[in-house]
Amino acid sequence: MLSKNQIKLISSLQKKKFRDQHQLFIAEGYKLIVDLLKSELEPQYIIHNKQASTTDFLKLNKQIELIECDASELKKISNLKTPSDVLGIFKIPDSDYNKKTISQSLSLLLDDVQDPGNLGTIVRIADWFGIKHIFCSKNTVDLYNPKVIQATMGALARVQVIYTDLPQLINEYANPDFPVFGTFLEGETIYKSKLSTQGFIIMGNEGKGISDDLKTRVSHKLFIPNFPADQATSESLNVSVACSIVCSEFRRRQF
């Protein structure tokens, strides 16, 4: 059974300051937990009700601590309107990355993305298109927000997300052979632009777009055209939708 201290701890992890303090986050749902257990993420323990099967959990990690509880207890600690049968507590991993790998691949840079659903969806998009690294500005919504974790649908297990100073990161990799792409209304249509297999792709804030500080560091301005060009359409695309179009076009060129 769950102790009062465990209930208090898990409930506190709904807030970023306590996730940072304890270096722990919550994941809910059978498939999500299985995906995370298949990764290098380290589980603290898994809480489940009597109806939940734990066979796959033990196959993936024989040392994992399983705690059985009743539905009312799960409801107390769940962030979902309809609680799942299982809830996992995982350790937040270190944010180290291989600098050589970054220099030879495409990475996403998120400039103050605020919506948890957008961040979670972008992680899934990166996973789908084989982009292994996402760098976030320090004001981007917290990756370990429960809503973000749920929206990743397990993609977090295969994509590394790092919070850092984006201008400094770009300066570190500044090189004529390492382009920095960004989407702009005044950019060149992405379908006619020269794209590459390495570089940074910046996606901006939902309301303000790419910040002035990063605009000056963009070497290739891209534009996603509406169709037909002379027809009135929506003012802009959702950042996660724009991200999917951009990533798809980059990968299409490699076929």
Mean predicted confidence (pLDDT) in 199-226: 96
CATH class label, 99-252: alpha beta
The listed CATH number (2.60.40.10, 2.30.110.10, 3.30.1330.30, 3.40.50.20) that belongs to domain 4-91? 3.30.1330.30
**The pLDDT of residue 168:** 97
Higher pLDDT, 231 or 88: 88
Task: Report pLDDT for 122.
Answer: 98
Q: pLDDT tens across 117-136, in order?
A: 999 999 999 999 999 999 99
Average pLDDT estimate for 175-193: 95
pLDDT at 236: 82
Residue pair 13/145 in contact by the 8 Å Cβ criterion: no
The pTM of this model reads 0.94
The two three-digit tokens of residue 208, written as one number = 């303000």
* Closest CA relative to residue 103, chosen from 182, 199, 194: 199
Domain assignments of the chain as residue spans, ordered by start: 4-91, 99-252
Q: Per the structure block, which two tokens stand in for 14?
A: 């709904």
- The better pLDDT of the pair 4, 223 is held by 223
Q: Is residue 230 scored above 80 in pLDDT?
A: no
